[in-house]
Amino acid sequence: MNCGSDKVIYMDNNATTRIAPEVVDAMMPFLTDCYGNPSSMHTFGGQVGKSVEKARIKIADLIGADPSEIVFTSCGTESDSTAILSALQTFPEQRHLVTTRVEHPAVKSLCDSLTQLTGHKHRTTRLMVDSDGMLDMNSYREALSEDTAIISIMWANNETGVIFPVEEMAAMAKERDILFHTDAVQAVGKIPINMKKNQIDFLSISGHKLHAPKGVGVLYVRKGTPFVPFLNGGHQEHGRRGGTENVASIIGLGRACELAAATMEEENTRVKALRDRLEQGLLASIPKSMLNGHPTERLPNTTNISFEFVEGEAILLHMNRYNICASSGSACTSGSLEPSHVMRAMGVPFTAAHGSIRFSLSVYNTEKEVDYVLEKMPAIIADLRAMSPFWKDEE
Amino acid sequence: MWEYTDKVQQHFMDPHNVGELKNPSGTGDVGSLSCGDALKLTIKVDDSGIITDAKFKTFGCASAIASSSVLTEIIKGMSIDEAAKLTNEDIAEALGGLPKEKMHCSVMGREALEAAIADFRGVILPMAEGEVVCECFGVTDLEIIRAIKESDLRSVEEITNFTKAGGGCGKCEDRLREILQQTVEGITADKVKPKKGQRMTTLQKIKKIEDVLEREVKPTLRKDGGDIELVDVDGDFVTVSLRGACSGCQSSRTTLKEYVEKKLREQVVDTLIVEEDK
């Protein structure tokens, strides 16, 4: 199947990323000849096990962790569920959770359905964000209670790229002896993270957000943190996660983490400059457009811009005609009838929330691509506005 | 990604009759920015009651724009009386169909047309009256009842797909269920129970099973001189004993499985297994 990847201008990297060619190369032997089971006694399988351990070290190195703190999972969602449910089982008498209004569904929906999963009623404090998408530290402090079993707050928001001060929040949690989990799937590989310098207990990683394949994730579990497995089974991952390892993808993730360490600086200089060029260009050339999310406390690759009086799905489909890939927080793209919960939590007015577009870049984007998008967007928005009953030309 | 027909894509990419007529004979303005879609339809009607021109302005997704565009194509040249009979299904059909979650776009087209015709005729639409059921999207009971009848809706989810009611905070779901029940004959409360399967206590289950047997099964069996009694309910296993003409009847097993079990599964829990007490 030819899906035209050579033609697309891919600016939807917070949704998923291209698998780096180096990652594919690293994986190939494990999809072909080296098919042994890492748990086997024979050398044929055992050598695969050694490769898995090497990958574990590379992943640990990227985030300043000890390899023993890395638990492989199938995806970011599994990592999130594992951490939260582990804490609730560790402290069955503590029925309170603290999270935010802007979490990814992996955490949001889990918190909504805890009663079904645990058989207990839980109280969840969902912290508000301001119009920049930032949390209020005082509300956070006040939310913590004797009854709090775990705090789960994302490191960076997938829709806006806004970064939360999770390290500071984890330190405050530690003072109160409360476990702290962070969904860091958008942050790992994009901004420097050093687990030796913070007190976060659990951290979720997703492979496909950093140029590794889909279907592999990691849960970082700080040494000494009480842990109850989510998947029970064999002794894999030292009994912390049953199920035969997704070897090839784990090897791929190891290689991807190595690459991410090497491109971290580029991500925060060249990619950031591209993002800024795109953002400033769009805001300057398109009237009634605005940035969603804090201007600086943000991932280097993400920009979320609202184009007032037009609807996101319509914008995306016009962009699609030029092979430009991005996302929208509009109601229509999600199949629900309301704009994204993140836009609503930030209080983005409806006129703008329905027309929000997220561009998320990667090291594979070029200046030429950014210029192409800057060339096409004004006409797309103008055409749709000409059709909109709310758009007045004189504005 | 939505599965849009070629027709939807054509009308979206290259919409017909975009704009606003000067001195229109009628204007229909429906939807709002907060709702995520809105349509302003203007029509020109000549002395013989024929719609000679129509233009639209739409804020919304691809299917909203395509529905508006195809609507103007359909009604141009139609008499106002003919146009008044147009349904949202006609609009959807002209587009070769819409994804079910997007049917409300065709409903918006029909509503705008109706509003424009009412404006032309100088009458006030009855839809403006009625009790607002869905506050998020401002949908009244009259609109919901109409959609149920016109499009043969059978679940709360379908009502949301067609009218958007219930698609916001979801607080009106119970009320929607109620309206659905009252509107559709023969649909019992049990068929439209909430999506998240409610767990019944054994007592509730027994009561429901008895109720269905009493109300629907027994009268049918009695017509053929038979009868049925509930013996036991153990988890999903329902034991009954067949009486009268049914007992010993060759086709009693078929009756049990094809009729009794089916009825109970439909109306109580869809995992029930009905066995005869022997």
- For residues A30 and A45, the answer to whether their CB atoms sit within 8 Å is no
- pLDDT, position B249: 67
- List the CATH code of the domain at A21-259: 3.40.640.10
Q: Look at residue A190 and tell me whether its pLDDT is greater than 50.
A: yes
Are the Cβ atoms of B12 and A337 closer than 8 angstroms? no
pTM for the whole structure: 0.81
- Give the residue ranges of DSSP H helices in B3-102: 6-13, 62-75, 80-84, 88-94
- For residues A71 and A219, the answer to whether their CB atoms sit within 8 Å is yes
pLDDT tens for each residue of B123-144 = 877 655 688 888 888 888 888 8
Are the Cβ atoms of B167 and A387 closer than 8 angstroms? no
- pLDDT, position A394: 47
Q: Look at residue B146 and tell me whether its pLDDT is greater than 70.
A: yes
B62 found inside a domain: yes
Ranking A147-161, B23-37, B92-106 by mean pLDDT, the lowest is B23-37
- For residues B209 and B261, the answer to whether their CB atoms sit within 8 Å is no
B19 found inside a domain: yes
- Cross-strand pairs, B30: B39
Q: Is B97 part of the contact surface with chain A (CB cutoff 8 Å)?
A: no
Ranking A8-17, A277-286, B164-173 by mean pLDDT, the lowest is B164-173
Are the Cβ atoms of B33 and A350 closer than 8 angstroms? yes
Contacts of A313 in chain B (CB under 8 A): 2, 61-62
Closest partner residue to A337 (CB to CB) among B38, B40, B167 is: B167
Sorted by sequence, the CB contacts under 8 Å of residue B117 that are 6+ apart come out as B26, B28, B43, B80, B83, B84
Q: What CATH code is carried by the domain that includes residue B155?
A: 1.10.10.1100
Report the amino acid identity of residue A242: G
Give Cα B105 distance to the centre of its chain.
14
> Domain range holding B245?
202-276
Report the amino acid identity of residue B154: R
- pLDDT, position B250: 66
Contacts of A387 in chain B (CB under 8 A): 15, 18, 57-59, 65
**How many structural domains does chain B have?**
3
Q: Look at residue B182 and tell me whether its pLDDT is greater than 70.
A: yes
B197 found inside a domain: no
B177 found inside a domain: yes
Angle between helix axes A312-321 and A367-387 (nearest 10 degrees) is: 130
- Give the model's confidence band at B186: pLDDT under 50 very low, under 70 low, under 90 confident, else very high: low
Sorted by sequence, the CB contacts under 8 Å of residue A306 that are 6+ apart come out as A289, A290, A292, A348, A352, A353, A355, A356, A357
In chain B, the percentage of residues whose pLDDT exceeds 70 is 91
CATH class of A9-16+263-387: alpha beta
Ranking A129-138, A215-224, B204-213 by mean pLDDT, the lowest is B204-213
Domain regions of chain A by residue span: 9-16+263-387, 21-259
B70 found inside a domain: yes
Return the structure tokens found at B21. 């007529």
Q: Look at residue B117 and tell me whether its pLDDT is greater than 90.
A: yes
Contacts of B101 in chain A (CB under 8 A): 335
Closest partner residue to A331 (CB to CB) among B12, B13, B36 is: B36
- Give the model's confidence band at B203: pLDDT under 50 very low, under 70 low, under 90 confident, else very high: confident
Closest partner residue to A354 (CB to CB) among B15, B36, B160 is: B36
Q: Average of pLDDT values for A319-338?
A: 82
Closest partner residue to A388 (CB to CB) among B2, B57, B101 is: B57
Q: Look at residue A364 and tell me whether its pLDDT is greater than 80.
A: yes
> Helix, strand, or coil here: B77?
coil
Return the structure tokens found at A272. 């950031």
Chain A residues 281-310 with a CB less than 8 Å from chain B:
309-310
Return the structure tokens found at B268. 């109580």
Q: Average of pLDDT values for A382-393?
A: 89
Judgement on whether residues B188 and B207 belong to the same structural domain of the protein: no
Are the Cβ atoms of B101 and A335 closer than 8 angstroms? yes
Report the amino acid identity of residue A241: R
- pLDDT, position A281: 98
Interface test with B, best of A313, A325, A333 (most B CBs within 10 A): A313
Contacts of B160 in chain A (CB under 8 A): 337
- pLDDT, position A367: 97
Are the Cβ atoms of A311 and B59 closer than 8 angstroms? yes
Q: Is B33 part of the contact surface with chain A (CB cutoff 8 Å)?
A: yes
Ranking A13-27, B98-112, B158-172 by mean pLDDT, the lowest is B158-172
Judgement on whether residues B115 and B137 belong to the same structural domain of the protein: no
Residue B93 and residue A381: Cα distance in Å, rounded? Answer: 29
Are the Cβ atoms of B59 and A309 closer than 8 angstroms? yes
pLDDT tens for each residue of A38-65 = 999 999 999 999 999 999 999 999 999 9
B260 found inside a domain: yes
In chain B, the percentage of residues whose pLDDT exceeds 90 is 37
Give Cα B232 distance to the centre of its chain.
38
* Residues A180, A169, A190, A356, CA torsion sign: positive
- Report the mean per-residue pLDDT for chain B: 86
Are the Cβ atoms of A389 and B64 closer than 8 angstroms? no
- Report the mean per-residue pLDDT for chain A: 95
- pLDDT, position B195: 45
- Cross-strand pairs, A220: A70, A203
Angle between helix axes A105-112 and A76-90 (nearest 10 degrees) is: 40
pLDDT tens for each residue of B36-89 = 789 999 999 999 999 999 999 999 989 999 999 999 999 999 999 999 999 999
- pLDDT, position B134: 87
- Cross-strand pairs, B44: B53
Q: Specify the pairing of strand A202-206 against strand A217-221.
A: antiparallel
Are the Cβ atoms of A311 and B18 closer than 8 angstroms? no
Return the structure tokens found at A385. 């506005």
Question: For this structure, is B249 an active site residue?
Answer: no
- pLDDT, position B234: 80
B1 found inside a domain: no
Judgement on whether residues B223 and B178 belong to the same structural domain of the protein: no
Alpha-carbon torsion, ordered B149, B152, B157, B163, to 10 deg: -50
Q: Look at residue B196 and tell me whether its pLDDT is greater than 60.
A: no
